[in-house]
Amino acid sequence: MRLIFLGPPGAGKGTQAKLLTERYGIPQLSTGDMLRAAVAQATEVGKRAKAVMDAGQLVSDEIVNEIVSDRIDAPDCAKGFILDGYPRTVPQAIALDRMLESKGLKLDAVIELKVDEAALVRRMENRVAETIATGGTVRSDDNPEAFKRRLTEYREKTAPLSEHYAETGQLKTVDGMADVEAVTAEIDKILA
């Protein structure tokens, strides 16, 4: 099973992807997590990506295409994977199409979580408050300004992907404002 989750930051892509990893025994590949790990380890990629990420802007297509291509060659991706946060631009989607073709692989579905932006800002504030209350570390891009910047980046660069995948006939849209269980049930129906 090879899936892509589309949706703005805070839409619940990560939450849904995690649930599916257990059900299908396939990994969730979050480019955001991979980049944050690279920043934490101060690798070459991490050093190049940090300032861009902190500003809520997108890291270059070249960097993310390469990390995804390497990652899907790993043995744990043999049965499939869930892409969360990638592709994020039309050129990334085109690069992914080519990458999968060259590896002899096909996508099963692209699931878009539709959400209301004002509600997303409230969700982000709650997530920060909960993280602080439980003694966790708040992401350096989880502040209202960077978050709004990420939403703008989404609208301008990622939203056009819906059209790309609608044209290929792979796009499935789910109401991301419903509660977690209801969203999961909708996704299950699509994948059944």
Nearer to ligand AMP among residue 9 and residue 12 (C-beta): 9
Nearer to ligand AMP among residue 170 and residue 185 (C-beta): 170
Nearer to ligand AMP among residue 4 and residue 26 (C-beta): 4
Whether 127 is catalytic is yes
Whether 150 is catalytic is yes
Q: Which residue is nearest to ligand AMP (CB)?
A: 32
Report in angstroms the alpha-carbon separations of 98 from 95, 155, 175. 5, 24, 30
For residue 9, give every residue at least 6 positions away whose Cβ sits within 8 Å of its Cβ, in sequence order, or none. Answer: 120, 124, 147, 150, 151, 154
| Contact characters 89-128, ligand AMP, x per CB under 6 A | ---x------------------------------------
H-helix or E-strand spanning residue 28? strand 28-30
3-class SS of residue 8: coil
Burial class for 170, CB neighbours closer than 10 Å (0-12, 13-18, 19+): middle
Cα separation, 187 vs 173, in Å, equals 9
Nearer to ligand AMP among residue 152 and residue 168 (C-beta): 152
Answer for which of 64, 93, 115, 183 binds ligand AMP (CB under 6 A) is: 64
Cα separation, 175 vs 189, in Å, equals 13
Answer for which of 4, 6, 7, 9 binds ligand AMP (CB under 6 A) is: 9
Answer for which of 20, 26, 29, 35 binds ligand AMP (CB under 6 A) is: 35
Point out the catalytic residue in the list 2, 139, 148, 149. 139
Point out the catalytic residue in the list 71, 127, 148, 157. 127
Only one of the segments 18-26, 48-56, 106-114, 116-124 lies at the binding site for ligand AMP (rule: CB under 6 A); that segment is 48-56
Q: Are 127 and 9 in contact (CB under 8 A)?
A: no
154 labeled binding residue: no
Cα separation, 141 vs 152, in Å, equals 14
Active site residues: 13, 88, 127, 139, 150
